[in-house]
Amino acid sequence: MTLLPQEIIRLKRDGGTLAPELIQAFIEGLTAGRVSEGQAAAFAMAVFFRGMSLDERVALTRAMMSSGEVLAWDLPGPVLDKHSTGGVGDAVSLALGPAVAACGGYVPMISGRGLGHTGGTLDKFDSIPGYATQPDIATFRRVTREVGCAIIGQTADLAPADKRLYSIRDVTATVESIDLITASILSKKLAAGLQGLVMDVKFGTGAFMSDTDGARDLARSLVSVANGAGLPTSALLTDMNEPLASAAGNAVEMAYVVDYLTGRRREPRFHEVTVALAGEMLALGGLALDPADGARRIEDAVESGRACETFSAMVMALGGPSDFVAGAERYLPKAPVIRAVEPEGEGVVEAIATRDVGVAVVALGGGRTRPEDAIDHAVGLTDLARVGAAVGSGRPLGIVHARDEAGAEAAARALRAAYRLGAAPGERPLVLERIGA
């Protein structure tokens, strides 16, 4: 079956179902440049409004996966990964990858940069001097094989169709399509040659999917399509109604993770999500009897220091300082203005507009408003007060790390506006539910 791109768009626009060969032809045309940006935008909008069946989602994911190189691994353990839908203070990948590797898994993690109000894993690693976030495929393979974990960015060779389609979606108001989100995430993961994937799907005031029903729908789509495409996958729904870590930014989150791995500070919320996701990965890869057994193994890897040793080895193998963990304070950039943010009164934190906290970091220069924007890795927020914490005299809402006094003052105003003081809220589960195949 051969149709012009505009006829494929017309068929989807009118509510038709696209055969796998039509989807494959459209994506091949997109990769080769035969499909214009206008046609790609029209296709994305048609999918946004008309949706896709499970078979169409699988076909789109496979087509985007095969648009570039697809890695194959010959390793003595399972090749595993985790992906988060994004949040504020979500530095879990930085600790989770090395912890899973310390337990016998291999984690070739292809991560992204910041998007909107959410922080990007690659931007955090860019705060380490010398760390290569965009190595060649040979280096990626070598570090994964020798260390067990390599956290890098998407290369031009892996799922190039996704890279092109995503840039178009970003400027055509079609980012939120569950069909397109699913294909975008999973095409990169399938191209990485994984044997198991765990999805961390966020819900709440700091998540892209703020309501639990939307997050659940996305999780089910990701799990069903990934398994339909041959990649064993499960998902956890996790709470993002407050920052996951008490730090939000790039260098400040990197410092937070170093403290976590070395045992200087381990906050319960961050630890719980890290252990739950990593334990799920070990179970999926056959390295644990079940997720609970996997969680115990991850706990041991973190407590024993093996996860920290793997993290240090990965940083060094990808060009960072050999003594980064011991000397993080010396290596990470520091903002010239550091100021505590006092609340307007005293009370208990009842709720946090978490997205606004992330936007405050972007406004400081720690994120992007345009793809070409440079990142200020030093700025951010630390010691953020938790929901249920008493704040007031002697306990600020957080600490601002800014480039100048004006930026610090603007961030302080934004932080005060994001926090609501009132009655102590009831306990809510951090991991709401698990969604399996």
- Angle at CA 174, nearest 5°, toward 169 and 177? 120
Closest to 336 (Cα-Cα) out of 413, 406, 412, 255? 406
Give CA–CA dist 231/39, Å, rounded.
30
Written as six digits, the tokens of 185 are: 């995430």
> What pLDDT digit, counting tens, does each position of 232-245 carry?
999 999 999 999 99
For residues 165-183, give the mean pLDDT.
83
Residues labelled as active-site residues: 81-84, 121, 169, 184, 188-189
What dotted CATH number matches 80-158+165-327? 3.40.1030.10
Q: Annotate 185-211 with b (16+ C-beta within 10 A) or e (fewer).
A: bbbbbbbbbbbbbbbbbbbbbbbbbbe
Closest to 140 (Cα-Cα) out of 153, 129, 128? 153
Q: Which residue has the higher pLDDT, 437 or 210?
A: 210
> What pLDDT digit, counting tens, does each position of 357-395 carry?
999 999 999 887 666 678 899 999 999 999 999 999 889
Mean pLDDT of the chain: 93
pLDDT at 174: 83
Give CA–CA dist 133/155, Å, rounded.
10
pLDDT interval class at 2 (50, 70, 90): low
Q: What distances in angstroms separate CA 282 from CA 121, 190, 234, 347, one per listed residue?
A: 22, 18, 12, 42
pLDDT at 425: 84
Asked if the model's pLDDT at residue 171 lies above 80, the reply is no
The fraction of the chain above a pLDDT of 70, given in percent, is 97
pLDDT at 115: 58
- Is the sign of the CA dihedral 89, 416, 425, 395 positive or negative? positive
pLDDT interval class at 80 (50, 70, 90): very high
Asked if the model's pLDDT at residue 286 lies above 70, the reply is yes
pLDDT interval class at 154 (50, 70, 90): confident
- Given a contact cutoff of 8 angstroms between Cβ atoms, the answer to whether 379 and 249 are in contact is yes
pLDDT interval class at 113 (50, 70, 90): low
pLDDT at 153: 84
CATH level 3 topology of 5-51: 1.20.970
For residues 26-33, give the mean pLDDT.
94
Domain boundaries, the chain: 5-51, 80-158+165-327, 333-422
Written as six digits, the tokens of 243 are: 């920052």
pLDDT at 35: 94
5-51 and 333-422: identical CATH topology: no
pLDDT at 400: 98
> What pLDDT digit, counting tens, does each position of 309-360 carry?
999 999 999 999 999 999 999 999 999 999 999 999 999 999 999 999 999 9
Strand arrangement, sheet containing 419-422: 390-391, 347-352, 419-422
pLDDT interval class at 247 (50, 70, 90): very high
Give CA–CA dist 23/16, Å, rounded.
12
* Secondary structure of the chain in HEC code, one letter for each residue: CCCCHHHHHHHHHCCCCCCHHHHHHHHHHHHHCCCCHHHHHHHHHHHHHHCCCHHHHHHHHHHHHCCCCCCCCCCCCCEEEEEECCCCCCCHHHHHHHHHHHCCCEEEEEECCCECCECCHHHHHCCCCCCCCCCCHHHHHHHHHHHCEEEEECCCCCCHHHHHHHHHHHCCCCCCCHHHHHHHHHHHHHHCCCCEEEEEEEECCCCCCCCHHHHHHHHHHHHHHHHHCCCCEEEEEEECCCCCCCCEECHHHHHHHHHHHHCCCCCHHHHHHHHHHHHHHHHHCCCCCCHHHHHHHHHHHHHHCHHHHHHHHHHHHCCCCCCCCCCHHHHCCCCCEEEEECCCCCEEEEEECHHHHHHHHHHHHHCCCCCCCCCCCCCEEECCCCCCCEEECCECCEEEEECCHHHHHHHHHHHHHHEEEECCCCCCCCEEEEECC
CATH class label, 333-422: alpha beta
pLDDT at 114: 58
pLDDT at 163: 84
User: How many CA within 13 A on the CB side of residue 415?
Assistant: 31
User: How many CA within 13 A on the CB side of residue 325?
Assistant: 22
Give CA–CA dist 367/364, Å, rounded.
8
pLDDT interval class at 231 (50, 70, 90): very high
Q: What is the largest CA-CA distance in the chain?
A: 71
pLDDT at 124: 93
pLDDT at 45: 96
